Chain A
Amino acid sequence: MLKMKTGVILAAAVATAQAGWAEEVRVYNWSDYIDEDLLTKFEEETGYELIYDVFDSNEVLETKLLAGGSGYDVVVPSGTFLQRQITAGAFQPLDASMLENTGNLWDVVQARTETYDPGGAYSINYMWGTTGIGVNVDKVTELLGEDAPIASLDLIFDPANMEKLAECGVHFLDAPSEIIPAALQYIGEDPDSKDEDVLAKAEPILTAVRPYVQKYHSSEYISALANGDICVAFGWSGDILQSRDRAWEADNGVEVAYNAPSEGALMWFDQMAIPVDAPNPAGAHAFLDFIMNAENMAAASNYVYYANGNVASQPLLEEDVIGDPAIYPDAETLETLYTTTPYDARAQRFVTRMWTRIKSGT
Chain B
Amino acid sequence: MNWRRIALISVPYFWLLGLFLVPFFIVLKISLSDIALAIPPYTPTLELSEGWSGLRDLVAQLDFENFAFLADDDLYWKSYLSSVQIAFISTFICLLIGFPIAYGMANAPTEWQPTLMLLVILPFWTSFLIRVYSLIGLLSQEGMINQFLMWIGIINEPLMILNTNWAVYIGIVYTYCPFMILPIYATLIKLDASLLEAAEDLGCSRTEAFWRITIPLSKAGIIAGCFLVFIPALGEFVIPSLLGGSGTLMIGKVLFEEFFANRDWPVASAVAVILLLILIIPIVMYQRNEQKMMEADT
Contacts and interface: CB of A to CB of B under 8 A. Distances in A.
Nearest to B74: A362
A215 B163 contact: yes
B165 to A, nearest CB: 11
A84 B37 contact: yes
Q: Interface residue tally of chain A, by bracket?
A: 20 to 34
Contact of A360 (B37, B246, B260): B246
Contact of B41 (A66, A176, A356, A359): A66
B40 A345 contact: no
A349 B66 CA distance: 13
7 contacts: A59-B261, A59-B263, A63-B259, A63-B263, A88-B38, A359-B246, A361-B247
Contact of B78 (A59, A63, A362): A362
Nearest to B39: A68
Given A276-B39, A360-B248, 7 more contacts: A59-B261, A62-B260, A63-B263, A67-B40, A68-B40, A360-B246, A362-B75
Contacts of A352: 257, 261-262
Given A216-B246, A360-B249, A59 B264 contact: no
B35 interface: yes
A67 to B, nearest CB: 6
A262 interface: no
A56 to B, nearest CB: 12
A contact face: mostly helix, strand, loop, or mixed: helix
Interface in B66-103: 73-75, 78-79
Nearest to A345: B35
B39 A65 contact: yes
Nearest to A177: B261
Contact of B260 (A57, A276, A353): A57
Contacts of A356: 75, 257
A204 interface: no
Contacts of A18: none
B40 A63 contact: no
Interface in A320-362: 345, 348-349, 352-353, 355-357, 359-362
Interface in B238-257: 246-249, 257
Contacts of B262: 345, 348-349, 352
Nearest to A65: B39
- Among B38, B246, B249: residue with most chain A CB under 10 A: B246
B263 A62 contact: yes
A118 interface: no
Nearest to B69: A349
B260 A60 contact: yes
A97 interface: no
A66 B246 contact: no
B247 A348 contact: no
A357 B74 CA distance: 11
Nearest to B260: A59
A357 B257 CA distance: 12
Interface in B123-146: none
B264 to A, nearest CB: 7
Given A88-B41, A215-B163, A349 B249 contact: no
A6 interface: no
A284 to B, nearest CB: 18
A105 B246 CA distance: 41
Contacts of B41: 66, 88
A361 B260 CA distance: 20
Interface in B15-72: 35, 37-41
- Among A66, A67, A215, A357: residue with most chain B CB under 10 A: A66
Nearest to B261: A352
Nearest to A344: B37
Contacts of B38: 66, 88-89
A137 to B, nearest CB: 22
A66 B40 CA distance: 5
Nearest to B246: A359
